[in-house]
């Protein structure tokens, strides 16, 4: 039995459904259990079972997850949000003791990519094109024609706290009102997210670029797959620098107006727009379930997904009878 635990399930309805379908298609007698700190998280109610847990910042969080793993005989834990990644990557052995594998890249990888400065240094040290970083004094000395800039929280995620700064007055405002930020060059061009799959041996097996057509609340709402070979090849160059990758890792880059690439971020988890890559044929949950059950993967995973498949998202509803007030 290959029971799966999806943590911080939130709105990841499609991801829960993909893992349920993967278990069924592989004829595996497993269930998908979802957890979240909010009882109103929609993904809880499409899972086979669910539990409400404390915040990831609570000292009892790891113990709560371990108990759920024991209660449901969990074989694989799938984290979904940035704030969990460092913690869970640091405690893989804690869960291996009860036979649960954590689908997360190594601790050092998560330390680097959870921090915008460390991510930028990773790109610079490996000569990967990335936006220029400005100190506060350098940014304040820029001429008006050198704006706009981008300001981000150093430890931010999901697009929260990201601002486009159009002039010096706005820059002064943000510097006075926000702490722990990074100031970067604004990059103009087409934005891409690349969904990459690292197998259980740490090998990069597939990279699917998807062009972001529209973003809402930090998550892509309209997107299309793109078999741009330059993006694929450069993504492999970046990904092969990661020595402890596991499962899904997403890269973000811009194809600039001059035709060059500029990488801006790496997130060692499933991206919010991953369902598009799965629908195109790069069904990572299927591959994960196969590997979890010691089944071989095809040799040509990079070649099996569909180019120019579009995803156009819309709102849907889940209705619950007798919803508890407390």
**Where are the extended beta strands (E) located within 147-289?**
149-153, 163-165, 181-185, 189-198, 204-216, 219-225, 247-256, 261-267
Residue 324 clears pLDDT 80, i.e. is over it: no
Please, what is the average pLDDT of the chain?
94
pLDDT band, very low/low/confident/very high, at 158 (cuts 50, 70, 90)? low
- Looking at residue 235, what is its pLDDT? 98
- Looking at residue 29, what is its pLDDT? 81
Q: Which of 257, 215, 259, 206 is nearest to 235 (CA)?
A: 206
Backbone angles phi, psi at 174, to 5 degrees: -65, -40
Residue 155 clears pLDDT 90, i.e. is over it: no
Residues 130, 152: contact at Cβ < 8 Å? no
- Looking at residue 157, what is its pLDDT? 66
- Looking at residue 26, what is its pLDDT? 75
Q: Which of 80, 76, 37, 78 is nearest to 56 (CA)?
A: 37
- Looking at residue 195, what is its pLDDT? 98
Domains by residue range for the chain, with CATH: 3-104 (3.40.50.20), 110-114+188-312 (3.30.470.20), 132-185 (3.30.1490.20)
Q: What is the pLDDT of residues 160-195, one digit of tens each?
A: 778 999 999 999 999 998 888 999 999 999 999 999
Q: Which of 267, 269, 275 is nearest to 312 (CA)?
A: 275
- Looking at residue 326, what is its pLDDT? 64
pLDDT above 90: percentage of residues in the chain: 87
SS3 95: helix
pLDDT band, very low/low/confident/very high, at 325 (cuts 50, 70, 90)? confident
Q: What is the pLDDT of residues 63-122, one digit of tens each?
A: 999 999 999 999 999 999 999 999 999 999 999 999 999 999 999 999 999 999 999 999
Residue 1 clears pLDDT 80, i.e. is over it: no
Q: Which of 92, 103, 83 is nearest to 246 (CA)?
A: 103
Q: What is the pLDDT of residues 19-51, one digit of tens each?
A: 999 999 877 789 999 999 999 999 999 999 999
Q: What is the pLDDT of residues 129-148, one digit of tens each?
A: 999 999 999 999 999 899 99
* Token pair of 2 as six digits: 């290959």
* Token pair of 134 as six digits: 């400005």
């Amino acid at each position: 039995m290959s029971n799966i635990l999806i943590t911080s399930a939130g709105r990841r309805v499609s991801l829960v459904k993909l893992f349920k379908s993967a278990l069924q298609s592989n004829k595996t007698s497993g269930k998908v259990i979802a957890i979240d700190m909010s009882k109103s998280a929609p993904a809880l109610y499409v899972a086979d079972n669910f539990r409400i847990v404390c915040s990831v910042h609570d000292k009892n969080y790891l113990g709560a997850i371990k108990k759920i793993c024991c209660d449901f005989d969990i074989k694989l834990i799938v984290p979904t949000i940035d704030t969990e990644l460092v913690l869970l990557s640091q405690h893989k052995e804690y869960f291996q003791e009860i036979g649960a594998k954590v689908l997360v890249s190594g601790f050092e990888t998560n330390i680097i990519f959870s921090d915008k400065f460390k991510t930028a240094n990773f790109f610079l040290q490996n000569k990967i094109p990335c936006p220029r970083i400005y100190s506060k004094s350098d940014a304040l000395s820029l001429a008006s024609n050198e704006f706009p800039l981008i300001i981000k929280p150093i430890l931010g995620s999901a697009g929260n706290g990201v601002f486009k700064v159009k002039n010096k007055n706005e820059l002064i405002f943000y510097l006075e009102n926000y702490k722990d930020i990074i100031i970067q060059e604004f990059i103009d061009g087409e934005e891409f997210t690349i969904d990459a799959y690292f197998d259980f041996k740490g090998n990069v097996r597939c990279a699917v670029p998807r062009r972001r057509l529209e973003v809402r609340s930090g998550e892509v709402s309209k997107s299309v797959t793109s078999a741009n070979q330059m993006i694929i090849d450069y993504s492999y160059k970046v990904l092969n620098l990661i020595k402890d990758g596991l499962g899904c890792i997403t890269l973000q880059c811009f194809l600039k107006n001059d035709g060059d690439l500029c990488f801006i971020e790496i997130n060692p988890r499933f991206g919010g727009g991953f369902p598009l890559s799965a629908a195109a044929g790069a069904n990572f949950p299927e591959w994960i379930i196969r590997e979890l059950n010691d089944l071989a993967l095809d040799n040509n995973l990079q070649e099996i997904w569909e180019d120019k498949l579009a995803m156009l998202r819309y709102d849907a509803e889940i209705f619950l009878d007798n919803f508890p007030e407390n």
